[in-house]
């Protein structure tokens, strides 16, 4: 340590410990057999008011067009729009306009509803609508209206897209409106764009996420979670090339100040004291979705686990403090 002052050493921070996964029985029932891979097909718990135990929703995230509802014994449910699987094209306004992709999904236990932001790419520019389905297969395009995306931001976006964040409810399960952030936003000089959907009317508004002085020449790929209460967004998507080192490259951005780490900051599991291997495991990118009151985080290696958002957001804020952008 020659050459380092005592004052310098005292200022050094420890990399934060990873938050523990939740062992809620809703999700533990799906551990062991695995919950699928975040870059392929997910096997997720069904509705809070299912008619039996171990019901599930099957969702190929890499395609983002169809979801299937199954009983605990694997029998496919065929009620209403579940017959043949719920497809984005079944979300329609009654005037010939229908969806193509699920851009965001959110299973709400309190409302006993699976919400989705659906994209209609047949329109020009493309459009978004907020929809929901229940266990009976009843589908509603909330408010019955589609909303235009800025022409500059017109691109096909499914849940598996590399520039979309998970659909999030502002007050958590059962409370608040929905928000969806996309980093593909030429219309805001790549300051990201947040779409807000009114849960009752479906009305959509949009706004830039980063400050006006934070214009970027290119988008931030693989945004994962946030913003936290301290306005930090984590991107953890540039995978390690070996699958063994426990590293992934990513970034942290302060949406209030525009401060950020480099795009390829190494976020290292092996310098941390916990077990959040889902961000850092293997050679596939990490992704997240909100489901039944938890946030599910995993990689393409089938390593999905459930977390309390509060724990994960505290962890993200601590990383931001570690890197000096909080």
Range of the domain at 302: 220-326
Same domain, 49 and 140: yes
Asked if 211 and 191 touch (Cβ cutoff 8 Å), the reply is yes
DSSP SS3 for 326 = coil
* 56 or 18: which leads in pLDDT: 56
Beta bridge partners of 56: 45, 70
- For residue 250, what pLDDT band results from cuts at 50, 70 and 90? confident
Residue 171 neighbours by CB distance under 10 Å: 9
- For residue 301, what pLDDT band results from cuts at 50, 70 and 90? low
7-13 long-range contacts, Cβ below 8 Å, gap at least 24? 13/321, 13/322
Last residue of a domain, one of 134, 162, 190: 162
Same domain, 135 and 50: yes
Is residue 191 in a domain?
no
- For residue 275, what pLDDT band results from cuts at 50, 70 and 90? very low
pLDDT above 80 (res 28): no
Same domain, 143 and 254: no
d(CA 267, CA 257): 22
DSSP SS3 for 234 = strand
Is residue 211 in a domain?
no
Same domain, 120 and 226: no
User: How many residues can be counted in the chain?
Assistant: 326
- For residue 280, what pLDDT band results from cuts at 50, 70 and 90? low
Number of structural domains in the chain: 2
Last residue of a domain, one of 114, 132, 162: 162
DSSP SS3 for 152 = helix
d(CA 187, CA 262): 23
51-96 residue pLDDT tens: 998 899 999 888 999 999 999 888 999 999 999 999 999 999 989 9
User: Backbone dihedral region of 122: left (phi > 0), alpha (psi from -120 to 50 degrees) or beta?
Assistant: alpha
Asked if 112 and 161 touch (Cβ cutoff 8 Å), the reply is no
Q: How far is CA 158 from CA 54, 102, 318, in A?
A: 27, 5, 30
Last residue of a domain, one of 133, 162, 191: 162
Is residue 148 in a domain?
yes
pTM for the structure as a whole? 0.92
Beta bridge partners of 254: 232
Q: What is the pLDDT of residue 75?
A: 95
């Amino acid at each position: 340590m020659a050459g380092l002052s005592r004052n310098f050493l005292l200022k050094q921070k420890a990399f934060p410990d990873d938050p523990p996964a939740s062992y809620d029985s809703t999700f533990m029932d799906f551990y062991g057999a695995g919950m699928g891979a975040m870059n392929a097909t997910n096997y997720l718990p069904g509705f809070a008011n299912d008619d039996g135990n171990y019901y599930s929703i099957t969702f190929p995230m890499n395609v983002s067009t169809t979801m299937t509802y199954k009983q605990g014994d694997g029998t496919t449910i065929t009620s209403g729009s579940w017959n043949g699987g719920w497809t984005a094209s079944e979300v329609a306004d009654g005037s010939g306009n229908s969806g193509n992709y699920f851009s965001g999904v959110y299973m709400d236990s309190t409302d006993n509803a699976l919400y989705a932001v659906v994209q209609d790419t047949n329109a020009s520019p493309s459009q978004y609508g907020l929809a929901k389905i229940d266990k009976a297969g009843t589908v509603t395009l909330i408010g019955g209206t589609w909303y235009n995306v800025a022409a500059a931001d017109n691109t096909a976006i499914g849940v598996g897209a590399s520039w979309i964040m998970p659909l999030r409810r502002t007050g958590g399960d059962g409370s608040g409106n929905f928000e969806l952030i996309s980093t593909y936003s030429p219309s805001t000089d790549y300051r990201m764009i947040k779409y807000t959907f009114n849960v009752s009317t479906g009305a959509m508004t949009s706004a830039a996420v980063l400050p006006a002085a934070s214009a970027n020449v290119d988008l931030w790929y693989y945004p994962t979670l946030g913003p936290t209460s301290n306005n930090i967004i984590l991107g953890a998507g540039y995978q390690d090339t070996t699958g063994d080192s426990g590293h992934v490259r990513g970034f942290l951005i302060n949406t209030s100040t525009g401060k950020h780490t480099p795009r390829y900051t190494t976020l290292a599991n092996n310098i941390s004291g916990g077990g959040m291997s889902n961000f850092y495991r293997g050679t596939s990118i990490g992704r997240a979705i909100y489901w039944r009151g938890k946030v599910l985080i995993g990689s393409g290696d089938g390593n999905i686990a459930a977390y309390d958002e509060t724990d994960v957001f505290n962890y993200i804020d601590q990383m931001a403090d570690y890197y000096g952008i909080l």
